[in-house]
Structure 1
Amino acid sequence: MAIKVLVVDDSSFFRRRVSEILSQDPNLEVVADARNGKEALAKVAEFKPNVITMDIEMPIMDGITAVKEIMGSNPTPVLMFSSLTHDGAQATLDALDAGALDFLPKKFEDIATNRDQAIRLLQQKVKALGQRRLFRRIPRASVDLSESNRAARSSQSTFNRNDKRDIAPVVNASFKASGKQYKVLVIGTSTGGPVALQRILTQLPANYPHPILLIQHMPAAFTPAFAVRLNGLCKIQVKEAENGDVMKPGCAYLAPGGLQMLIEKSGAYGRIKVISGKEDMNYKPSVDITFASVSKVFADKALAVVLTGMGADGREGARLLKTAGSSIWAQDEASSVVYGMPQAVTQAGLSSKSIALEQMANAILKETIGR
Structure 2
Amino acid sequence: MSPSVKVMIVDDSATVRQVLSGLLNAEPDLTVIATASDPLFALEKMKRDWPDVIVLDVEMPRMDGITFMKKLMAEHPTPVVICSSLTEKGAQTTVQALAAGAMDVITKPQMGLKDFLSSAAKDVANAVRAAAKANMRRVAPSPSPAAVAPKYSADVVLPAPDQAMHQTTEKIVAIGTSTGGTQALEILLTTLPRTTPGLVIVQHMPERFTTAFAQRLDGLCQMEVREAQNGDRVIQGRVLIAPGGRHMVLKRNGAQYQVNVMDGPPVSRHKPSVDVLFRSAARSAGRNALGVIMTGMGDDGARGLKEMHDAGAMSVAQDEASCVVYGMPKEAVKLGAVDRSLPLEELSGAIMAFASGRR
Q: TM-score range by the shorter chain?
A: 0.7 to 0.9
Q: Is the 8 A contact 2:20 2:117 kept in 1?
A: no
Q: Comparing 100-109 with 190-199, which one deviates more in the overlay? A: 100-109
Q: What does the per-residue CA deviation read over 1:320-344, in whole Å, with 9 as the maximum and x for residues that have no partner?
A: 1111011222122232222221121
CA distance in 1, matches of 2:308, 2:24: 39
Q: Helix, strand or coil: the match of 1:338? A: coil
RMSD across aligned positions (CA): 2.5
Q: 1:31 aligns with which of 30, 33, 40?
A: 33
**Residue 307 of structure 1: CA displacement?**
1.0
1:324 aligned residue: 311
Matched residues in 2 for 1:117 and 1:49: separation?
A: 25
Give the aligned partner of residue 310 of structure 1.
Answer: 297
Asked if the contact 1:187–1:213 (Cα under 8 Å) also holds between the matched residues in 2, the reply is yes
User: Paired residue for 2:269?
Assistant: 282
Q: Aligned ranges for residues 203-282 of structure 1 at < 5 Å?
A: 203-208=191-196, 210-278=197-265, 282=269
What code does the residue aligned with 2:20 have? V
Q: What do the CA deviations read for 1:265-299 (whole angstroms, capped 9, x no partner)?
A: 22433122222224787322111111111111111
1:80, distance to aligned residue in structure 2 (A) = 0.9
Listed one character per residue, the Cα deviations across residues 41-89 of structure 1 (whole Å, up to 9, x for unaligned) are: 2222321211111111111112111111222222111111111221111
- Preserved contact between residue 86 and residue 110 of structure 2 (Cα < 8 Å): no
Q: Which residue of 2 aligns with 1:183?
A: 171
Any conservation in 2 of the 1:312–1:341 contact (CA below 8 Å)? yes
The residue aligned with 2:10 is: 8
Aligned-partner Cα distance in 1 for 2:91–2:356: 34
Deviation at 1:207, TM superposition (A): 1.9
Conserved 8 A contact 1:231-1:237: yes
> CA–CA distance in 2 between the matches of 1:190 and 1:110?
28
Q: Against the structure 1 CA distance between its residues 281 and 305, is the aligned structure 2 distance closer, same or farther, given a 3 Å change threshold?
A: closer
Tell me which of 60, 69, 72 is aligned to 1:70: 72
Conserved 8 A contact 1:181-1:368: no
Judge conservation of contact 1:286–1:313 (CA < 8 Å) in 2: yes
- 2:335 matches 1:348: yes
AA at the equivalent of 1:74:
H
Per-residue CA distance 1:175-197 (angstroms, 9 max, x = gap) = xxxxx987111101112111111
> Structure 1 residues 369 and 98, CA, compared in 2 at 3 Å: closer, same or farther?
same
CA–CA separation in structure 2 for the residues paired with 1:45 and 1:199: 32
Task: Name the residue aligned to 2:125.
Answer: 123
Contact 1:76 / 1:133 at 8 angstroms: preserved in 2? no
Aligned pairs for 1:41-120 (under 5 A) are 41-107=43-109, 118-120=120-122
Task: Give the whole-Å Cα distance in 2 for the aligned partners of 1:181 and 1:339.
Answer: 33
- The total of aligned residue pairs comes to 329
TM-score normalised to structure 2 length = 0.84
Structure 2 distance, partners of 1:116, 1:7, is 16
Contact 1:262 1:274 in 2 (8 A): yes
Q: 5+ unaligned residues in a row in structure 1: which ranges? A: 139-156, 159-179
Partner of 2:188: 200
> Which residue type is aligned with residue 136 of structure 2?
L
Q: 1:280 to 1:97 in 2, by over 3 A?
A: closer
Deviates more, 1:264-273 or 1:58-67: 264-273
Q: C-alpha deviations, 1:11-31, integer Å up to 9, x for none? A: 222112111111122221211
Mapped to 1, the partners of 2:174 and 2:77 lie a distance apart of 32
CA deviations over 1:92-138 (Å, ceiling 9, x no partner): 01112222222111249999x98776222211111111123411x16
Query: Take 2:112 and 2:105, find their aligned partners in 1: how far apart are those partners?
Result: 12
SS at match of 1:262: strand
Contact 2:267 2:275 in 1 (8 A): no
Q: Provide the secondary structure at the position in 2 that maps to 1:265.
A: strand
Unpaired segments ≥5 residues, structure 2: 142-167
State the match for 1:357 in structure 2. Answer: 344
Among all aligned residue pairs of Structure 1 and Structure 2, give the percentage whose two residues are the same amino acid.
Answer: 42
